[in-house]
Structures are given as C-alpha cells and as structure tokens.
Amino acid sequence: MNEQIKHPAVMNLARRDARDKLRGLTQYTIDHVKPGTLNAFLLRSEVASARILRIDISKARKMPGVRGIATAEDAPGFFGIGIADHPLFAKDVIRYDGEPIAAIAAETLEQAKAAAAAIELELAPMPALLTMAEALGDGAPLIHEDWKSYEVLLEGAARGGNIAWEAKVVRGNTDAAFARPDVTIVDSCFTVGRQNHVPFEPRAVVATFEDGRYHIKTSTQVPWTVRNVTARALGVPASQIRVTVPPVGGAFGLKFDCSLEPFAAILARKTGRPVALINSRREEMLTCLCRENAEIRIRSAVTPEGEIVGREATVLMDCGAYGGEQIFLTTMTAHTLGGNYKLGSVRLSSRAVYTNTAPNGAFRACNGVYNTFALERHTDEICAAIGMHPMEFRRRNVLGDGDLGSTGQVFEGEVLRPMLEKMDRLRGASPRFERLEDRRLFGRATTVGTWFIFVGPSAATVNLNADGSATLITSGVEIGSGTMTQSLPQIVAAQLGISPHEVIVKGADTDAAGFDLGVGGGRTTVSIGAASTAASEEVRRKVLEAASELLQTGVEELVLGGGRVEIRGKKGSGMTIAAVASHIQKTEGPVSGSGSFTNPGVDAMAGCAMGHFIDAIDIPVFAVHDCEVAVDPDTGHVEVLSYRVVQDVGRALNPRAIHSQIQGGVVQGMGYALHEDMSVGPDGRILQSGFETYRLPLALDVVPVEIELHEGAPSIGPLGTKGAGEVPILNVGATIACAVSRAIGKPVHSLPLTPPRVLGLIIDEARPLDLPHISRTWSDNTISNSRI
C-alpha cells in the first residue's frame, strides 16, 4: 500500500544460495552419498492386498556386499496423524502396491537390489479395494481389520470401517433452508485425480549411528516430525535421534511427513556404517504422498437475490492404505469448500477413506485446490440456474468484515471485495483476447479462493556475535521458496539494525533449535518469522539497554540502523553494534535472545465443528484469479492465453520473491488443471510411472502471470505479513475449469482437462456427473454415533 512508510524489513533481497546452485556446487541430501556409504534399497510389495505368510531373508543375507537387512521385527511402533494406523514395514498384511516389506543395505545399489530379489515371500492374495466407492460399499472387507484397537491421537472424530476419519460441520438448519419455497436448489458432483509433487530431488536420507544416537540427514520439511515419528517407529526415545537438513531440492508438501528416514536409521545401527536411502523416480511416481483423488457432492439452496441460505456437501478423500495427512486435511474442507461465501446454514462431511492404494499426503494447498475447483464451478452453475452474472453473485456473497465462516468464526476486515475490484482494474488494463484469429473457442473466468496459514509452534534463538553479525537458529528448512534466505534475515536484520547479509541463518538441526511444526503452509514467514521476531526483540532490548548506559542516553533516543546505534537526529553519533555486543559479552556474557510462537487460536461457534484439528483459522489467505483460454474444438487442446492473480499477502516483505512463488505456483496449478493425470490401474498400481506419461508443464506451455499483491488485510504475522508461497496454486484448477466450461458451453466436473477429456466433453451431449455412492441426503454420508 502506497500510504505505508517503507519498513526497513521490506526489500527485494536476493537469495544467498543462488551462486552455488547455479554452479552445481550445492550439496543436497542426494549429494551427501560419499564413498564408504552403504546403499539401501526397499523391497516393495508388487501386489495391492495380501496376507504375508512367510518372509525368508536367509538367502538374501548371504548375497555379495550385503551388510544388513531390516524387516517388521525391527520396527515395532505404529505412527500416524490422528490415529496411529501405520507400521513402518508391512506387518502380516500388505495394503498397497509398493508397500515396504524389507530394507537392505549393501556396498552398491545393484547388490542391494539383487539381495532384495533373493528374499523369499509367500503371500496369500486378498481382495483389493481400489476405489472409494468399493471401500464404502456394503459388505466391503476391512482394509484395517484392527481399526478399533488403533491408538487415537486426537479425540472427537468419528471413524469406522474403511473410514479413517470424518470431520463434520453443522451450523444452522439446512433442512429448513432447502425446504423454503423461494429457493432454487443446485446439486453438483465433481471428481479429481491425484497430483504428484515431482520435486526434482526425490525423498532421500543418509543416516549414521554415532555415540548411541541416530543422526539422520534428510531432505525434509519437518525435522521434528522425522525425529518423533522415527522414534515411535523404532521404539526408541526421541532424544536419541538428531535430524539435520541439507538444502532441499523441492518439496511442495511431499516432505511434510516422515517417510524413508526410519529405514535408513535402522540399517545404520545394524551395520555401523552410514546408510543412504534414496527413492528412484519410479518409486516417487508410484508411492508418492500425492494430493489425493477426491469425489465431491455439493448442493445449495439459493434465493432469487442470490443469497445462499443453505449449503450441504460431502467430500470423499482417498487416503490410500494409511490415513496420513488426509486425516488432518478433513479439517480443511470447512474452510475451503465451506469458504469464500456467506452461508445462512451449512452442513459439511469430509471423510478420509481407506483404499488399497499408495497413501496420499499434502501437496501445496492440499484439498483447497480441488475444493475451490468444485466450489467455483458450482457457483457458476448456481449463477446459470438463477440467471445472475457470476461476478455480481461473487460480489454480493464473498466473505467480508464480520461475516461468519462455516464453523462460525467471525472474519475480520474487508478483503475479498477490494481484491475483486483490483482484479477488475487489472483485467481492464490488459489486452483483450476475445476475438481469436482461428477456429478456437474463447473463455474467461474469475474465481475466488480461501486458504489459511498453517500457524503452529515454532522456536527461534538469535545470537548477536561480537563482530556485529547475528546467527538465527531455527528448525526452518530452505525448500526453494527462499523464505529462509530472504524474509527471515530481512526481519531479523531490520529488528537489529544490521544488514541482512550479516544475518547467518543456521540450517535445521533438532539438537540446536527448539520444536517446529515444519516448513510449508506459509509457516516459515509467519510462525518461524514470529518466533524470530520475538528472539530479535530480546536482543534488540539488550543492545539498546547496554548502549543507553554506554552512551548515557535514554533508550527512546536511540536508533539502530546500518550496523550502528545512533542518537536520534545526530548522524554519525553513537557506536557500532559490534562494539556494544563486544562490551556486553565482556561484562555479562554473550548476547542472545529466544522467541517462541504458536497460534493464539480463534473461536469457532460452539458445536459446529466435529473432528477438526483446526476449528477456526487464525490467518485466512484470500486469492482472486482470472484467466483467458482458447480451446481447440477439433483436438480438445486448451491454451491459457493470459493469467492474472490478486493475492492477499498482508505485507509483502520481499515482493520479487512473492512474484516468483506466484509464477511457479500458477504453473503447478496449470499442470493440475490441464496436464497431470494420475490414475490407478486394475492391479492397484499407479499407471504414470515416469515423465513420459506424467506430463509436466514446459516453458512453451506457460504464460507470464500478471500479479497484484493486496496488502493491509489483518494478520497476526510479523509486520502483518501472511505467508505467500503456498496459496498461488489454490484457484488455478477452478479458474481454468470455469473458463473452459464457458468456452465449450458444457459443464466441467473433472480435472485434469486433458485434450481427450475436453474433446469428449465437446462431442458428447452435456451430461451432469452423478456420484451414486454419495447420497443426496446429507446425513447418509456421515457416521452417526449409533452405528459404531
């Protein structure tokens, strides 16, 4: 915002790790495999569902180069989110194609593979449930026979049978709303496939066992989760585990969970040697913790004036063989599918469903991406049904100051409406495409999205060194978005009055910094930023107090800047911060400050949210996207002609870096909307095993995104910032789907919109999608207390 005085923390600081990355010198975890490190390989199941009758590793043990083999016996613990349903190795039962059965460490990878092939396995095949419809069918076998005995890690949710977790929202009386004589009822169904993060660096770990402790060097976003889950899986105290994190070659949420680390840890202890375990690209394709495939039914009761008096929806989320992230993510339906708009009454059911397929996980804006697709397409269908212009409907209904969210939280600030206005102006300023020179069909759409910043515990320490530099110690990881190298040093530097180049950012080490929930979901800037701010504030206070004594001037008259403490208004007065730091170090001891942060919590309405990890969001993030598309009526190819984003950032600490995140996130969204198809074959194996069949956007497939950053919305983040790296992908599926639907004049109910799918829509009669296994009677799609 132009009226704000530019804050010293705001700048387009260049990232400091670019040089080494450009010259190929950066050592990612995959580059830490030095001579002498053993190579590990996982024997993975090649069937989707079976009972393990016998495993015999005796032949494998004797194969050349083999130094250690681990199986289920070595990892007794179950882990998970919400419920502990996940053993490290398949234990008695195989639940998905690709499930680890044994881990082998050998001198070379080839030797490890040869040994894996020599492991004798006797299996009794069992029926495999490959779709959620099958898993929810009457009489469907249980994928987790012992589900009742699993340790519950968060109370209050319904679950049962093949439903790993169910989160519900009930606010107001939707039955009454739908029964009103003046409403139009619109019912829409949607289905989406999985999306694979394809970080260029696969999941990778190098582990050692030294002095009775495991040292795990891993490509992760969540060092503390790795520590704690590895401890549970191995059945050892968490204090025995140290996790450090080299530069990460992309993550996008795939690495927001513990995965390969415990295997390497066990083998490191067994062999007494460093052990490297790195997923091949094929393994990453077939066992990725994908954005889940999902099926949605959403119905709304809308008055002729466009008021949404009632909304009901059911979302089926495929968690694969184990609950994992999807259990947590059932929470996010309320804030996304139940977001954007004012609702008179609402009921939502979000169910994580087990299937005999590879477990899914978190990927940049998670279910927000497909929920926004479903919501915005549904909104367009409502507009068509009541004859209202889609932009007029959105203007009337978007959440504003004082409006209630689906769980009853009260939103603060007028954010979405001004953002819609900004998008209007952005659109008006660009060249228009509507008259295409060729035979193609033109479409355009503007969409609205709601996401959140994943606030939660973070800790930070700032050491002020005697030379005037500062060391920032957190468990934050640089995964590519730049926040560790930009926003954080910018914040600390501004607090301390030194240059960001003087702020040393220590790489994540669970032995050094306190607990952190992890990097992702906008956490780095907000949570780690807040903890870092608190830590810097403590250092700043100490410096000012000491300087005040040394300079015989009141603290209020002193300013920090340019590496100096100066008396306000007297340029050149005072002393260097280094001198103050040296002084304190000599007289009292080294200078440091510590900070800690977690979400204060926002109130939901009592009784509205059941089974939610987050009842109400502390920091919402809004986005308005707009695009123009051209569709080839003869081949179904969709070309995105232009793309615009207005993003709610609170405060832009590094505008250039945010622009980069938006360009990158939109392109990932284009992949989701148009190209990246993932499907499960009849044997339960993902069909897209590499880049030949999993099509990622290339330079030719993209357009430069026009961007406007919206500042000023309320945020408890440092300096009023909100995280900006995750949300750029949120509305892309929605925006492109709505535009394509308008271009071809047919409803769009599925993503991705690959050419064959679009051509099918064009040439077939318009047929609404119906999902018979999701009942139109909302309560049929919930677990009532009496049934369990």
Minimum distance from CB of 18 to another protein (Å)? 4
Instruction: Return the residues of window 191-230 that contact another protein according to CB under 8 A.
Output: 197-201
Classified as helix, coil or strand, 452 is strand
308 binding another protein? (CB under 8 A):
no
Q: How far is the CB of 755 from another protein (least distance, A)?
A: 5
Measure the CA angle with vertex 604, ends 603 and 606; round to 5°.
110
Residue with Cβ nearer another protein (341 or 363): 363
Q: Which among 24-32, 295-303, 334-342, 421-429 is the span making contact with another protein, rule CB under 8 A?
A: 24-32
Identity of residue 152: V
Please calculate the CA angle 371-372-373 and round it to the nearest 5 degrees.
90
Of the candidates 169, 179, 171, 219, which has an alpha carbon nearest to the alpha carbon of residue 199? 219
Residues 6+ apart with CB under 8 A from 355: 129, 130, 131, 132, 134, 135, 143, 162, 318, 319, 320, 321
Interacting residues of 97 by C-beta distance below 8 A, sequence separation 6+: 44, 45, 46, 47, 48, 286, 356, 357, 358, 683, 684, 685
Choice between 481 and 599, CB closer to another protein: 481
**Residue 481, both tokens:** 């978005």
Q: Is 660 in the site for another protein (CB under 8 A)?
A: yes
Shortest distance in whole angstroms from residue 30 CB to another protein: 7
The DSSP letter of residue 680 is B
Of these, 9, 10, 43, 609, which contacts another protein (CB under 8 A)? 43
Site string for another protein, 618-647 (x = CB under 8 A): --------------x-xxxx----------
From 282, 425, 432, 767, residue interacting with another protein (rule: CB under 8 A):
282
Q: Tell me how far apart the alpha carbons of residues 694 and 678 are, in angstroms, rounded to a whole number.
A: 7
Distance, in Å, from the CA atom of 687 to the CA atom of 230, rounded to the nearest integer, reads 30
C-alpha 442, offset from chain centre: 33
Which secondary-structure segment (H or E) carries 282? Answer: helix 281-286
Number of alpha carbons in the 13 Å side-chain half-sphere of residue 697:
23
Q: Could you tell me the smallest distance in angstroms from the CB atom of residue 675 to another protein?
A: 6
> Given candidates 4, 19, 389, 430, which one binds another protein under the rule CB under 8 A?
19
**Distance in Å, CB of 248 to another protein, minimum:** 7
Report the run of H or E that residue 366 belongs to, with start and end.
Answer: helix 366-386
Distance of closest approach, residue 118 Cβ to another protein, in angstroms: 7
Neighbours of 598 (CB within 10 A): 16
Q: In this chain, which stretch among 155-163, 457-465, 603-611, 654-662 interacts with another protein, using CB under 8 A?
A: 654-662
Q: How far is CA 18 from CA 13, 23, 121, 503, 647, in A?
A: 12, 9, 48, 17, 26
Tokens representing 287 are: 């066992």
| Side-chain half-sphere exposure of 665, counting CA atoms within 13 A | 32
| Six token digits for residue 314 | 């059911």
Binding another protein (rule: CB under 8 A), the pick from 225, 336, 527, 754 is 754
Q: Is 471 in the site for another protein (CB under 8 A)?
A: no
Nearest approach in angstroms of CB 139 to another protein is: 32
Q: Which of 2, 5, 6, 22 binds another protein (CB under 8 A)?
A: 22
CB 93 to another protein: min, Å: 19
Among 290, 528, 667, 737, which residue sits at the site for another protein (rule: CB under 8 A)?
667
Out of 1, 24, 435, 606, the only residue in the binding site for another protein (CB under 8 A) is: 24
* Closer residue to another protein in complex, CB, 427/637: 637
Q: Which positions from 244 through 263 interact with another protein, judged by CB under 8 A?
A: 247-250, 252
Residue with tokens 């330079």: 699
Size of the site for another protein (CB under 8 A): 87
Q: Which is nearer to another protein, 353 or 662 (CB)?
A: 662
One-character DSSP codes across 292-329: PPEEEEEEEEE-TT--EEEEEEEEEEEEETS-HHHHHH
The DSSP H or E segment spanning 244 is: strand 241-244
Taking CB under 8 A as the criterion, which residues in 670-689 touch another protein?
675, 677, 679, 687-689
For the beta carbon of residue 537, count every other beta carbon within 10 angstroms. Answer: 15
Q: Is 61 among the residues that bind another protein (CB under 8 A)? A: no
For residue 247, the minimal CB distance to another protein (Å) is: 7
Tell me if 33 contacts another protein by CB under 8 A. Answer: yes
Nearest to another protein of 489, 665 (CB atom): 665
Nearer to another protein, 322 or 643 (CB): 643
SS3 assignment, position 631: strand
26 binds another protein (CB under 8 A): yes
Interface positions, 435-454, toward another protein (CB under 8 A): none
Give CA–CA dist 146/553, Å, rounded.
Answer: 70
Backbone angles phi, psi at 60, to 5 degrees: -60, -40
> How many CB atoms sit inside 10 A of residue 702's CB?
16
Spell out, one character per residue from 474 to 503, where the chain touches another protein: x when CB under 8 A holds, - when not.
-----xxxx---------------------
CB of 161 to another protein, least distance (A): 32
In the complex, the smallest distance separating the C-beta of residue 43 from another protein, rounded to whole angstroms, is: 6
Least CB distance to another protein at residue 485 (A) = 10
Task: Indicate the burial class of 403 (C-beta count within 10 angstroms; 0-12, 13-18, 19 or more).
Answer: middle
Residue of 525, 668, 735, 741 interacting with another protein (CB under 8 A): 668
* Closest distance of CB 219 from another protein, Å: 10
The secondary element (H helix, E strand) that includes residue 788 is: none
CA angle 358–360–361, rounded 5-degree value: 150
Tokens of 160: 């049962």
Nearer to another protein, 12 or 240 (CB): 12
State which of positions 693-732 bind another protein (CB under 8 A): 693, 695-705
Nearer to another protein, 249 or 390 (CB): 249
For another protein, the binding residue among 7, 21, 61, 776 (CB under 8 A) is 21
Closer residue to another protein (CB): 390 or 636: 636
Least Cβ distance, residue 353 to another protein (angstroms): 25
Q: Which of residues 81-140 bind another protein (CB under 8 A)?
A: 110, 113-114, 116-119
* Closer residue to another protein, CB minimum distance, 247 or 718: 247
Q: CB 165 → another protein: shortest distance, Å?
A: 30
Assess 665 for contact with another protein (CB under 8 A).
yes
| CB closer to another protein, 173 vs 689 | 689
Q: Which of residues 364-383 bind another protein (CB under 8 A)?
A: none
Q: Which ranges constitute the DSSP H helices of 450-528?
A: 487-496, 523
**What distance in Å separates the CA atoms of residue 54 and residue 69, rounded to the nearest whole number?**
16
Instruction: Select from 308-316, 384-392, 488-496, 658-666 the region that touches another protein (CB under 8 A).
Output: 658-666
Structure tokens at 431: 């060249």
